[in-house]
Amino acid sequence: MTKKIPVKNLYLIAIISIGLIGLAVGSTYAMFTATAEISDPISLSSNLTYTSDIVETMDVTVAPGENEQVMLDITNSTDSTLNYAIWYIDDSGDCDFGTEFSVSSYSTSGSIASNNSFSAIVYIRNNGTSTVTVTLGVSSSIDTLVLADNMIILPSSGLPAPKNLVKRIEYLYTNATKTEVTNNSITYNYATSVNLMEDTAGNIRYYGPSPNNYIYFNCETYPSTNCEIWRIIGIVDGKVKLIRNESIGDYSWDTSASSVNSGWGINEWSQADLMKLLNPGYESNTDLNSSGTSITVNNSLYYNSGSGTCYNGQSNATTSCDFTSTGIKNDTTRNMISDSTYYLGGGTDAIIYSNDALTMERGTTVYSGSSDGITRTTSLTGKIGLMYPSDYGYATDFTKCSKNLYNYDSSTDSYACRSNDWLYNSADQWLLTPYSSNAYVAWLVNSTGKVDIFWVFGAFGVRPVLNLDSVLVIGSGIGTESDPYRISA
């Protein structure tokens, strides 16, 4: 919608074109200019001949989480120098704005000489969850300009980094200079200035020994009261993937009665004891302990910040466990956790590279024997899982590490793989992936840093992994250990 509002002494021609397209978040502004395509533009042109001033305005609709751009060509065809201002009205308060100019001497307010012109691109990003309508305007006068209180002059620089957490990380990666790095004959793009890289599935991941991927999560109140430190694995399948910085303790991936797989457990995550500890819906989960007594065990205790009995050994061995201070604290945090697909494809060979592991995890190879009567699945929708072998593999720095995952503990290069892998923590820690050649074996990272396999009844470190709701925004913080990202809840 365009409007003309009579004011005083305007001799400005404003031609405003808007391309109703969503720009890819994170492009540099030079890239915006070079690659933007205006599809079915709306054009507004004025050739003013009367003496009263005119303010040219246009309403721009921006969908939640999206970007729009407005092209302005401004020409002073009068015989006088004019004062001008480019402004906006945003009643929602949810939008970020930026402006880029064809002539560096111009900005969003100043003066324009007779018969001079310049072009500008106005960028609008909606950080909110609802569609907003923004009014853009161009005003000019021979005299001093007076704008209404709600007419805010646009910034004369590009858009700030997005507040949306997904788009912020995409922005950091896209805007950084890339370096090509080869691993297992595959070339990856590394954004070395921000320690981000893109894997073979198009996911953006943090890598190296100490990336700035710290975030406050599981807070008593947000953004920063009694929070835990978590780390951002990256943007995986379009969501922010987090892992707890510290283990919640050592627990069995699964175990079983001595009559099933000799008590060594079953490597099917959809029925695994650890899955039932981490996720909701298993509050009444019962089983037989090693003495054959019926007990309530692993019953969603971590998800509900409870205490009780947990598995930690062969033949349904148990231990007391207490997650009242380390479990998910409240519904505010629970509501941030996205339902996600966890891939359960397995493999038979631990001597693989990160790209091979990623393919394996998302494949359909599972144990097909009948020793325990359980049919294996290839995926599960849930709230909380564990990291994959590929998560651990891609977290190292391929400029320092050229080994396969089984040899991440190699001393040949002074342990370069594990020492440059921020997910290594000097302790045995479970991975999500089952071993497909056996009914009771799954993958883990052992204390030396190698990716290996072990019987699922083993009690090893558990670092919960989850995906955040994609609409969450950053209130403050820059991701460093001393200044983690703080979620605006």
pLDDT class of 102 with cuts at 50, 70, 90: confident
Q: Is pLDDT at 75 greater than 50 in this prediction?
A: yes
Q: Verify that 171 and 146 share a domain, yes or no.
A: no
Q: Report the pLDDT value the prediction gives residue 128, as an integer from 0 to 100.
A: 85
Q: Which two tokens stand for residue 207?
A: 């890598």
Q: Verify that 72 and 176 share a domain, yes or no.
A: no
- For residues 446 and 250, the answer to whether their CB atoms sit within 8 Å is no
Q: Verify that 265 and 356 share a domain, yes or no.
A: yes
Smallest CA-to-CA distance from 440 within 350, 339, 369 is with 369
Domain assignment present for 79? yes
Q: Verify that 55 and 174 share a domain, yes or no.
A: no
42-57 pLDDT, tens digit per residue, is 333 333 222 346 678 8
Q: Report the pLDDT value the prediction gives residue 53, as an integer from 0 to 100.
A: 61
Average pLDDT over residues 274-303: 89
Domain assignment present for 138? yes
Q: Verify that 411 and 482 share a domain, yes or no.
A: yes
78-90 pLDDT, tens digit per residue, is 888 888 899 999 9
Q: Report the pLDDT value the prediction gives residue 44, as an integer from 0 to 100.
A: 35
Which residues, in sequence order, are CB contacts of 97 under 8 Å at separation 6+? 88, 90, 122, 123, 124, 125, 154, 155, 159
- For residues 231 and 437, the answer to whether their CB atoms sit within 8 Å is no
Number of domains the chain is built from: 2
Average pLDDT over residues 150-173: 92
Q: Verify that 306 and 177 share a domain, yes or no.
A: yes
Q: Verify that 208 and 185 share a domain, yes or no.
A: yes
- In angstroms, what CA-CA distances link 301 with 144, 276, 327, 346, 361? 67, 8, 7, 27, 27
Q: Verify that 149 and 192 share a domain, yes or no.
A: no
Q: Verify that 83 and 182 share a domain, yes or no.
A: no
pTM of the complete model beyond 0.85: no
Q: Verify that 255 and 140 share a domain, yes or no.
A: no
Q: Verify that 231 and 275 share a domain, yes or no.
A: yes
Q: Which domain holds residue 177?
A: 164-489
- In angstroms, what CA-CA distances link 250 with 183, 267, 458? 33, 17, 9
Q: Report the pLDDT value the prediction gives residue 229, as an integer from 0 to 100.
A: 98
- For residues 103 and 126, the answer to whether their CB atoms sit within 8 Å is no
Average pLDDT over residues 424-428: 97
Q: Verify that 405 and 312 share a domain, yes or no.
A: yes
One DSSP character per residue, 123-165 reads EEEE-SSS-EEEEEEEEEESS-----TT-EEPPSS-PPPPSBH
Phi, psi of 90 (to 5 degrees): -130, 95
